Structure 1
């Protein structure tokens, strides 16, 4: 078993621990605060998902930005930075600029890194750290931590129930059509759009796969032109009315696990990325051209 596969399998336990940690952590945003969430790559996609969840929970305006694109002139009550390594240049540069101007909460996996001094509060999720370059369990654990800190969110399962769905996602066979496809388009709405982006990234990172990701209702506005025989449209969360028929009409295959928590469904996409990488002779633990952290000189 690759390291990545083992880290994927650890996610249900990590999520449960994250929910317990969030229940006693001081430093999470308060209802009514105007919040910005930031990160790079996978962390940015988790930021997008959390921002949508927080607004769905009615807790206040929440924006998400890639750290390199953060609008530093805007006013926020709190900023959340997600950085597994704690050393990413764009994140640290941003936090240096925000120092003293706005409270910053950082989520990291490594307490021996510069982010510990750059942020006002730090949630160390070191039990979810990874040896693999590709992020899987840290990213979802960070989102589970933030999600649990929101309390009830309409239409969204508690993290404990998501962990149960995750255990099933680890044991069920992958959809055969997805495992043998030549192209994958991932779709989501609201908070699951961030998950769709992350699924596409995992497939590209680990296996060099041809993937796309879009808001689900944008699918008909161009992306459907890619769909056809041997190609998969994978929806996180409920499938919009009429979309399944549209996929079938053009010869594509729809993959959806609507009853499962969408974060658990992301585990299936992670597993697919590893399986595809191994079938192509790639090392899913060490994708080409990537490092654990981007540190710019």
Structure 2
């Protein structure tokens, strides 16, 4: 959600680094983008409502060049997508700002600035920052940004340049991620490390309240008290060609097919099944855990809902899956012995980070992050962490991050089950064998792609769909519906199949496709009765059935047979099929699969 790249180059133009960073931030989602560099006559800017590729073409045509600059991808919050609202935002052609986050007191600040004679040309809260910095500017940009930042309320990350200080960029953060990158060719600011992996070798993670002063060959960081501080430098790494599209049509397609490797890499981290697998030094660190509280948003919440069943059945432990954006505002009653598990692909999800801090504030001190980014805010805020090995996930709709989260949570359930003497050595060995064989099982699901495309060709003209599941597969129905509406814009809802008679059955007609997971588990007979209810109302069924369910295709019911029932890990096989279905429906409907409208990859504002 919004992306910042900025920097000061030592010997050459900063523009290639800015554009490369924006390309790497496209996965976050955006509806406008822009770049500004300092030149002899002042800041020069190019902005567009098109993609970064078009911005790059405009930059080349304009011969834009300069050693100091800022760039941005914007996801609209305050103000519609429009050139006037695109970043960078200016004040008096002297100060230029790019900004992630939301300024909560922007209205009061705007009124004060208007009284001082400032005119506003955009609908953004960002323009308040630009004018506020300008109002404090007396020849020292660092002092102006520091003083302005003290007046801002809300979450923000900003980068600022001034025409009177051509070799200087100032950055500041509060509640929104911002990193400093150090490389042989200059110093940089960005929303995340991925944006800088080409040009920076060292990364500094700014803390809340920090203001960073980047000059040619020099870096200074002030904390919220105005004191000069030293932050540690971390080496930046990137996993090979994971970020390259290669022969695939979209990143989402690539990431769906990367899941066998991502699952195998995540499972390969297992050395011993105890607390040390999750970042502790004490193998018995979980001995006092009697309750698991999982916090997440969207897909991460659905991974928690799935894992809840594993914790209850495998580990015999109370488990709760909370939507982070709701939990953080509840009068939650803490319980002793709770392990708080925030789950996030990026580790920067604002609601999940705030929910984690809320849990800690009410006394639930044992925290374990499940995340795909080792250096993220949620990981740093937690006691311990399990870093999934999904690699970079560029597509906005999460796929391999979801399945690797499930692997991590399953391992945690096994660990707690073993610790609580709920599992014998033979049962543990069986579960680990199933995990080791999971990549091959996923490959067998991917091999059903031609049949799934056949379903997609029928569903492409529909505008509504129901997804049903029972038990562990109910959260998978929710995730399947989310994927479908995220990228194809087909309205889809997920329900527990047992709830059909309590309302959703009223929607079932010949025009309503109903897509069902039918694993060969203890609820299969109950599910068959639900299928009969749908057939009796003329509903059209699309059933993902395990090979040994003995369900037969019939008039009004399509069946794709998956491998034999895979026990507790069955949800991971069914969800891969659903990912392919959503992907191919979206392709046939001609949507922007990797960058669906109105959505962002990393939701770093509330």
Partner of 1:86: 347
Could you list the per-position Cα deviations for residues 64-98 of structure 1 after superposition, in whole angstroms to 9, with x for gaps in the alignment?
00112225322152011111111111111122223
- Is this contact kept in 2: 1:232–1:253, CA < 8 A? yes
- Is this contact kept in 2: 1:2–1:284, CA < 8 A? yes
Displacement of 1:161 in angstroms is 4.1
Displacement of 1:6 in angstroms is 0.5
Partner of 2:316: 59
Q: 1:268 aligns with which of 567, 577, 580?
A: 577
Give the TM-score of the pair, scaled to structure 1. 0.90
- Is this contact kept in 2: 1:34–1:61, CA < 8 A? yes
- Is this contact kept in 1: 2:340–2:364, CA < 8 A? no
Structure 2 residue runs without a partner (length 5+): 1-248, 415-426, 548-562, 564-569
Please say which of residues 199-208 and 254-263 is displaced more in the overlay: 254-263
Partner of 2:541: 253
Structure 1 residue runs without a partner (length 5+): none
1:150-229 matches, cutoff 5 A: 150-151=413-414, 158-172=434-448, 173-175=450-452, 176-177=454-455, 179-181=457-459, 182=462, 183-229=464-510
Partner of 2:567: none
Displacement of 1:20 in angstroms is 2.9
Displacement of 1:177 in angstroms is 4.1
Q: Which has the higher strand share?
A: 2
Residues in 2 aligned to 1:128 and 1:243: alpha-carbon distance in whole angstroms: 39
| CA RMSD across the alignment | 2.5
Could you list the per-position Cα deviations for residues 1-26 of structure 1 after superposition, in whole angstroms to 9, with x for gaps in the alignment?
21100100011222222223255413
Residues in 2 aligned to 1:226 and 1:106: alpha-carbon distance in whole angstroms: 40
Partner of 2:559: none
- Runs ≥4 in structure 1, deviation > 4 angstroms? 27-32
Displacement of 1:285 in angstroms is 0.6
Please say which of residues 6-15 and 215-224 is displaced more in the overlay: 215-224
- Is this contact kept in 2: 1:129–1:137, CA < 8 A? no
Give the TM-score of the pair, scaled to structure 2. 0.46
Could you list the per-position Cα deviations for residues 211-253 of structure 1 after superposition, in whole angstroms to 9, with x for gaps in the alignment?
1111121123221222232433222234413122222222222
Please say which of residues 125-134 and 287-296 is displaced more in the overlay: 125-134
Secondary structure of the 1:234 match is strand
Residues in 1 aligned to 2:446 and 2:605: alpha-carbon distance in whole angstroms: 36
- Is this contact kept in 2: 1:104–1:119, CA < 8 A? yes
